[in-house]
Amino acid sequence: MKRVFITIALIFGALLTVAQVEAKEPVKIIFDTDMGNDVDDVVALDMLYKYVDEGTIDLLGILSSKREIGSIKFIDAMNTIYGYPNIPVGIAKTYPDEKYVCIDKKLNYADYTVAQHNYPHTIKDWDAVEDGYKLLRRLLSKEEDGSVTLVMVGFSTNLVRMLDSKADEYSELDGKSLLAKKLDKVVIMAGNFHEKKKEYNVWNDHYAAVRFYAECPVPMLFTDVVLGKSVLYPYQAVYEGFKYVDNHPLVVAFHYYAQMPYNRPLWDPTAVLFAAEGHKGYASLTKRGYVTVDQKSITDFTEDKSSNRQYYLVNDKQRAAIVRRIVELTMRTPKNLQ
């Protein structure tokens, strides 16, 4: 009998050890988006909430690299609807000496969506929304060293301002040092390493991209435009997956952005997927190298083992796995609305 109890204890102990090994701490993520330019940002944001629901990530904050306040209103509505009203948001504020002009003549989908529907909001004073780089400093200062993943799917505006920032009430470190101390890596949707063409997130703030890609003090993993347009979000998911809320912001955005039905490239969602789950089973990584941006905003990758930049590559099997996972994730009803 004693041997039986010892055997059971050993088995239970082994199972407990396996469970402890498999139990992972949530990935701490800060999301930097240009919400309002392309609707794939909305899919990416939906994924982030679903990852929070299942305990895969801890979403520390959301930054917008757009200056239009509609971008923040859209994000705040999503935060509130999904049951995460306390996730802080920041915006790349327009400074007095800037000559920033919205490129799109047509009202972008973020502005349109929040103007057309009376969504619940948490933020009461839009003018009081924090400057993006300042929010980033505040969030990073509270976290353990090397513990945060930055998912960047818009322009590099907030991050260049962060590089240039000085010691403040949150940290005695300058911006670059604070990034180096607190970030684990940056997973970024940007660049075009295959077609030698300029890419939207690069040329929209060319100066910021040149500087951040060169000066970012931590590893950068790029999912580029060619990868993103090789995996498509099926329009059927838009029709079927978001019926738990009347006039869901994602559905309204898709309908306004272009005439439905259409399948949309999963540029930004791939960055979220790789950051939250890792790339195993979904992609491979190139060797290390440098990423440079020329005067025409064309990105180039040069292998160099002394660098810490890489980009993701996918085959047909991995593309199918990416689409399956993103559709499965986004088709879930949010935990707060079940």
Residue 10 pLDDT: 36
Q: Which of 273, 259, 261, 183 is nearest to 227 (CA)?
A: 273
- Paired tokens of 52: 């929070």
Q: Where are the domains of the chain?
A: 26-337
CA–CA distance, 12 with 210 (Å, rounded to integer): 55
Tell me what pLDDT residue 16 has: 41
Q: Can you say whether the dihedral through the CA atoms of 230, 226, 259, 255 is positive or negative?
A: positive
Name the CATH code of domain 26-337 (choices 3.50.50.60, 3.20.20.140, 3.90.245.10, 3.40.50.1110). 3.90.245.10
Model pLDDT, residue 107:
80
**Assigned token pair, 259:** 């005439």
Cα-based distances in Å from 164 to 111, 127, 251: 30, 23, 38
Which residues of the chain, if any, have pLDDT below 50? 1-21, 100-103
From 71, 77, 263, select the one nearest 155 (Cα to Cα): 71
What is the identity of the amino acid at 223? Answer: T
pLDDT in tens, 189-210: 999 999 989 999 999 999 999 9
pLDDT at 79: 98
* Distance, CA of 41 to CA of 147 (rounded, Å): 24
User: What would the pLDDT profile of 24-45 be if each residue is shown by its tens digit?
Assistant: 899 999 999 999 999 999 999 9
